[in-house]
Structure 1
Amino acid sequence: MTRSWNKVGFKNSYLASLIAILLSPSVYALEALSDDYLSTTTGEGVALLPENFKMVFQGPNDLSNASSYNQVGLVNPEKYDTGFIRIIPTGENYTNLKLTAAEAAAKRTKADTFIYGLALSASNNNLNQRFSNTGFNWGISANPWLFRAGTANNIQQFSSTNVAGDISYLVLETPLASIIADESDNNIKLGFWADAFLRSWNSSNAINPITGAPVAKPVANDPSNDVDLDKNKRIRLQYVANGLSLSGSQVRLFQTMPSTTAQYNQTLGMASVLRLNTNDNPANLKFTDAGLDAKAIRLSTATTNDGTYSTPALQQNSEAPLFNDKEGIYLYSPNINLVLGNMYQPFVLGSEGSNIFLEVTRIPNVPNIYKKIYTNYDVPYSSLSATSEYQGSTCNVYVCGFNTSSINSGSNTINYQGNNATHSSIAIGSVTRDPSTNLLKANTGADATGVVFRSPTGTAVNLGSVAIDGVLIQHLKFKTTGL
């Protein structure tokens, strides 16, 4: 596949026109553009190019104070990161069980989750900091984020009775990943902290429409008239990731082909390659290396203060907890490349009754379909192409499928990895790749590292590296219950 991009024509014509339209006062009518003008506009889809980007979810601030991170001399500004996303529970349907009030209260089947302080900023070496307050750039003008339309040719889905045809799709693409190792895009820090509660089946799931917080049942003298957010039924954790790159990821949306299975029949289909990489060459990584925190993910649960409420959403101006600066599980140099569905085996979103499901459909016993997905490991990887009998391949940090993309940038042509892989890989830490087979192998030396546990005092247990390679999803389904 070749993705051409005329950055000068696009930048000077399309983006300027779009910005001018958006900023024009509504009292002026839009004017038709001449054919001569339109002929100078080139490009493919709509490009996005974040520059100096940063964001963090905080609680309401007076506009004169703005973000706590910009207030000089303020200690621990992260304690104001209490803006949240809430996943509200409903629970299973136990109406036919005829439970007593005590039995119902004992069934803690609701999960109420609050995701606080979601933050994106420039990466640094500090895994005890969710937000660096420094912006990052994501992509270049010749290789931006891209939202475009396309057509996949000669596609067959679900059964041998379906005739192969063309499928139109919409796709959101991150900047492409370079074939030559280039870690200039491994510059993103992602962080958040969360409270998740087990709540009793008969507790209220009503919300405050202004704050989004849970509220009590409006029934006087009801013993269950509380929000049921018990600290003893709570897990509190912090997530911090450094050195992230999503380059090479893409999500395609399309209408699936006809199917005898009602839930698959001409519904919303997805084909996605989700790539989260931190280290373009982790082969020689050692536990004694300096700077490991610059390319890592940390999950921690130990806090140094707990706050006055079970979760800050219950009280305006309540502060976020502060976490221990050492404790947690550390994943050094994680490279996670997941393939969820493809044009031949779609990832569908549908409903069954009042519940929704996400499903990677089964691979049917149809040669025209499974030969596009399965891999023949006896064939050298370098020989794999669109004319191979079996065209399946694995996506890892080094390569992703067998097709490549090129972008003309002035006088230079830059080659990028493909995006047609069908198998996934997960690598953490010291991992090597066999270029003849594209298979990954975790290093077994005593100084190899990847997964490390640390206590609140900093005592470390190094479990070594991990490689899970060539993962093919034959069938996968997630379904909600009780809605």
Structure 2
Amino acid sequence: MTQIKAILKFRKSYLAMTIGFSLLPSAHAMQELSDSSLSDTTGEGVALVLDDFKMVFQGPKDLSDGSSYARGIQNPGQADTGFIRIIPTGENYNQLGQRAYDKIYKTSYDSNVLQGKIDRGYNTLYTSTYNSTYDTNYRSLYSTYTQPIPDKLTAERTKLQSEIPDRYFNSDTIIQRYFNERHNYYRAGTNGGFLGGDDDAKVINDGTTIYKTRPVSEDPTGVLKYAAKALEYATTNTYEMIQLLYGGRAGEANTNLTNSTFYKSLNSFTRNNTIGAEITTLVQRLSDASYAAATIRAKFEAGQLAEAEAKRLTEELYTSILRDARTAALLEAKNTPVSSLRTKADVFIYGLALSKSDGSLSTRYSNQGFSWGSADNPWLFRAGTENVKQFKDAAKDVGYIALEAPLSPIAGVESDNNIKLGFWSDIFARALDSSNLVDPITGGPTSGLDTDYRLRTQFVANGLSFNGSQVRLFQTLESDNKDYSQTLGMTSIIRLNTNDRPETLSSSDANLNSKGIRLSTAAKTNALDGDGPTPALNGSVAPIFHDSEGLYLYSPNINLVLGNMYQPFVVGSEGNNIILEVTRIPKIPAIYNQIYQNYGGGLGTTDLKGSTCNVYSCGTPIKNNAADTSALYQGRNATHSSISIGTTERVPGTNMLRAKDGVNSTGIVFKNTDGVSKNFGSAVIDGVLIQHLKIKTTGL
């Protein structure tokens, strides 16, 4: 094979032209377009139409018998080994030694800390110390705080034995009546007011202590204290009566009481020791509260002591673990060679295939051609001008070149969702010292790929439509930010839609696989998982993936807006690093009003002109031909993105989407190798606006 190595220099204008032509899609054939048709089409430029197009990347063969899909062989996908190889540069090799040392040190340090915690019981030390310290202190504190409680309860009982009878004396109507009668009785004299000795007295015995008195009237001066004694005796008898009726003597058999005129006047009164019951209740309540308070106090203080001790011992142990881990990590980092790091990546995209959509997500290629675009609605590569404001409040004409996919009809056309896209990939993490030699025949590596460090995946999409997508390239206007000013700017709308009417999708539909995306990893069998690390290395056949395993996204509609003419996406550089940035929206009403969106219902004002791109609408509708009486196609000037998966709908009267949650809703489904599936329902991400996004590569 002849190889030519040379350094070529060419003008920037050539570079721009090369970039433009590189954006043109491959075509199996071009449909002839008439001048009259082109003259009626919006915009001017080069129109392209794909007709009966299909392609698949297969491995090189010096003597080819044609595509494996045309030969009727079993497992034709095993020939899908033509590849695109991507090798990220990754590390800054000038700093690799220090980065390697730091990475090994950190990995070893983290590992030793984790193992040290396990070996020395760090994760259980706190709990065990806390529990043992808590139990010991709690028992001691509880004993201390409960010791005075019995004396406290005795004092309380004594106090209540006085206070409660006093309450009856002062407020009970029966007792007050008794006191008044007894007081009057003693004031009148127990002898009924007759002169004579005490033996002649007529004493009333009602079960209380018997006292004899002379009439108070016989002691007008009070010197004999007849009135005081009458009050004293009446009071004493009243407290005795309280005990006989309501207190501790209520259960006492006392015929003098029950035969007394006073007791009989109470009309079948029942004697009960209510005072004793009340005292018992109140003392028990005080006891419960006192012991509960002692418990809470003992627990709280025991917890504080236990926490302090557990924290102290844990911190001491953790400090020791860190010290040992640091020593071990320093030693390991010092003795580990840089070459052991897997800091390189190698990406192989195999069997990239475009064909006509079919009803299967088990195969990547249908071997049928599809058509894309028409004479009235073709692909366009054109130039244009738009008057806009970008970073300052000053409008200027901005010229651009644009690559535009066919427009998307407002009404939706089922035949537009006709593209099947498939590929499979191997992604490797390679050791730093692995060989970078390339096989001059295949373009693949000669060594350095390890199956243990490989991620193998398959991507299959059915029913895709890219219609309505657009990319524009232009020079940005002047800006005070040097990274934004007069540099390469871009706007793009990427539309990958599969279902124009997702609201009708049901989990019971028989054709779910005709509109969907599948990501899978499992091979059909171990024998069909290929031979060795990857075909690019050893020329082995491609794997045959399992028929059903994987993640399924049914009826996905993905509409992404990346920059617009008022908020460009810029491409710049800093040293050897590339900067990709969606510029900040300036605080200028004439600019942000063109970007922000009025959702209605108080969410925005009529000054806001932005809109969301979804499967139903994507900005201001377009008249594609001069003869059209109304706009038949969706626009291309939306400013917000949306992603919907599965059974979703547009909210009536708005352009907002929502996921439906009925029993038959579907969208995100996982299936295992046994065919068991799990339906996670539908999903919507709506109205996404990128305020500012900056991506910068490092280490190049």
Shorter-chain-normalised TM-score: which range? 0.7 to 0.9
> 1:403–1:420: 8 Å Cα contact kept in structure 2?
no
Q: Which residue of 2 aligns with 1:115?
A: 349
454 and 271 in structure 1: CA distance in 2 versus 1, 3 angstrom threshold: same
Q: Are 1:179 and 2:180 an aligned pair?
A: no
Question: Which structure shows the higher helix fraction?
Answer: 2
Provide Cα deviations, 1:116-151, integer angstroms capped at 9, x if missing partner: 000000000010110000000101110010111110
Q: Is the 8 A contact 1:273 1:338 kept in 2?
A: yes
Structure 1, unmatched stretches of 5+, are 1-9, 17-38, 216-226
For 1:140-289, list aligned pairs within 5 A: 140-153=374-387, 155-160=388-393, 163-215=394-446, 227-289=447-509
Contact 2:80 2:351 (8 Å CA) reproduced: yes
1:341 corresponds to which residue?
A: 563
1:473 counterpart = 2:695: no
More strand by share: 1
State whether residues 37 and 376 of structure 2, in contact with CA within 8 Å, keep that contact through their aligned partners in structure 1: no
**Secondary structure of the structure 1 residue equivalent to 2:664:** coil
User: Secondary structure at 1:11's aligned position in 2?
Assistant: coil
- Would the aligned equivalents of 2:473 and 2:488 in 1 still touch at CA under 8 Å? yes
- How many Å apart are 1:355 and its aligned residue? 1.3
Would the alpha carbon gap of residues 199 and 41 (structure 1) be closer, same or farther in structure 2, given more than 3 Å must change?
closer
In structure 2, the residue matched to 1:11 is: 33
Determine if the alignment matches structure 1 residue 322 to structure 2 residue 322. Answer: no
Q: 1:394-450 CA deviation, whole Å, 9 max, x = no partner?
A: 0000000134333357x8876101111000000000001024221100011122100
Matched AA of 1:344:
Y
Q: Which residue of 2 aligns with 1:308?
A: 531
Give the RMSD, CA atoms, in angstroms.
Answer: 2.6
Question: Which residue number in structure 2 is paired with residue 398 of structure 1?
Answer: 616
Q: How far off is 1:364 after superposition?
A: 1.5
The answer as to whether partners of 1:393 and 1:401 remain within 8 angstroms in 2 is yes
Q: Give the residue type in structure 2 aligned to 1:283.
A: E
Question: Equivalent residue for 2:96?
Answer: 95
Q: Quick one: distance in 2 between partners of 1:43 and 1:390? A: 27
Instruction: Kindly provide the amino acid, as one letter, of the partner of residue 613 in structure 2.
Output: C
Shift of 1:58: 0.4
Partner of 2:651: 434
Is 2:378 aligned against 1:356? no
Distance across 2 between alignment mates of 1:90 and 1:103: 20
8 Å contact kept, 1:356–1:479: yes
C-alpha deviation, 1:311, in angstroms: 0.7
Does structure 1 residue 463 correspond to structure 2 residue 666? no
Can you list the C-alpha shifts for 1:163-222, whole angstroms capped at 9, x where unaligned?
32010000111110001121110000000000001123343444334322124xxxxxxx
Deviation larger for 243-252 or 345-354: 345-354
Residue 108 of structure 1: how far off its partner (Å): 2.5
Letter in 2 for 1:58: Q
Q: Which of the pair has more CA radius of gyration?
A: 2
Structure 2 counterpart of 1:315, which letter?
N
CA distance in 2, matches of 1:67, 1:234: 28
Please give the secondary structure, in 2, of the residue aligned with 1:137.
strand
Cα 1:378–1:82 shift into 2, 3 Å: same
Residue 121 of structure 1 contacts residue 131 of structure 1 at CA under 8 Å; is this kept in 2? yes
Q: How far did residue 380 of structure 1 move? A: 9.6
Corresponding residue number in structure 2 for 1:136: 370
For 1:225-266, what per-residue CA distance to the aligned partner results, in whole angstroms no more than 9, with x for missing partners? xx3311111110000000000111100110111223332221
CA distance in 2, matches of 1:40, 1:343: 25
Q: Deviations over 1:306-361 (max 9, x none)?
A: 22220100123x20011000100000000000000001111111211111122111
- What percent identity do the matched residue pairs reach? 59
Deviations 1:100-123 (A, max 9, x none): 684524432322110000000000
**Which residue identity lines up with residue 80 of structure 2 in the other structure?**
D
Alpha-carbon distance between aligned partners in 2 of 1:280 and 1:380, rounded to the nearest angstrom: 29
Change in Cα spacing, 1:157 to 1:412, as seen in structure 2 (3 Å) is closer
Q: Could you tell me how far 1:284 is from its partner in structure 2?
A: 2.2
User: What CA distance in whole angstroms lies between the structure 2 residues aligned with 1:406 and 1:131?
Assistant: 33
TM-score (ref. length: structure 2): 0.59
Taking the aligned partners of 2:415 and 2:379, their CA distance within structure 1 comes to 16
Cα-to-partner distance string for 1:452-477 (whole Å, 9 max, x where unaligned): 00001110000000000000001112
Between Structure 1 and Structure 2, how many residues are aligned? 431
- The 1-side partners of 2:426 and 2:534 are apart by 7
Structure 1 counterpart SS, 2:480: coil
* 1:389 aligns to 2:612 (yes or no): no
Q: Cα gap change, 1:454/1:66 in structure 2, threshold over 3 Å: closer, same or farther?
A: same
For residue 371 of structure 2, give the secondary structure of its aligned residue in structure 1: coil
User: Does structure 2 conserve the Cα–Cα contact (< 8 Å) formed by 1:331 and 1:429?
Assistant: yes
Task: Give 3-state SS (helix, strand or coil) of 2:78's partner.
Answer: helix
The CA distance in 2 between the partners of 1:203 and 1:352, in whole Å, is: 29
Residue 42 to residue 233, structure 1, CA distance change in 2 (3 Å) = closer
2:591 is paired with a residue of what secondary structure?
A: helix
**Equivalent AA in structure 1 for residue 424 of structure 2:** W
TM-score by length of 1: 0.84
Q: Tell me the CA shift for residue 43 of structure 1.
A: 7.3
Report if the CA contact (8 A) 1:380-1:436 is conserved: no
Counterpart residue identity of residue 57, structure 1: F
CA contact (8 A) 1:380 1:437 kept: no
The CA deviation at 1:15 is: 11
User: In structure 2, what is the equivalent of residue 48 of structure 1?
Assistant: 48
Distance in 1 between residues matched to 2:417 and 2:602, nearest whole Å? 30
Give the AA of the match of 2:594: K
Tell whether the 8 Å contact from 1:407 to 1:413 is kept in structure 2 after alignment. Answer: no
Greater mean alpha carbon deviation, residues 205-214 or residues 181-190: 205-214
Does the Cα contact within 8 Å between 2:41 and 2:376 map onto a contact in 1? no
The one-letter code matched in structure 1 to 2:390 is Q
The more displaced of 171-180 and 86-95 is 86-95
Unaligned residue ranges in structure 2 (runs of 5+): 1-31, 102-333
- 320-329 or 104-113: bigger deviation: 104-113
The answer to whether the Cα contact below 8 Å between 2:43 and 2:384 also exists between their aligned partners in 1 is no
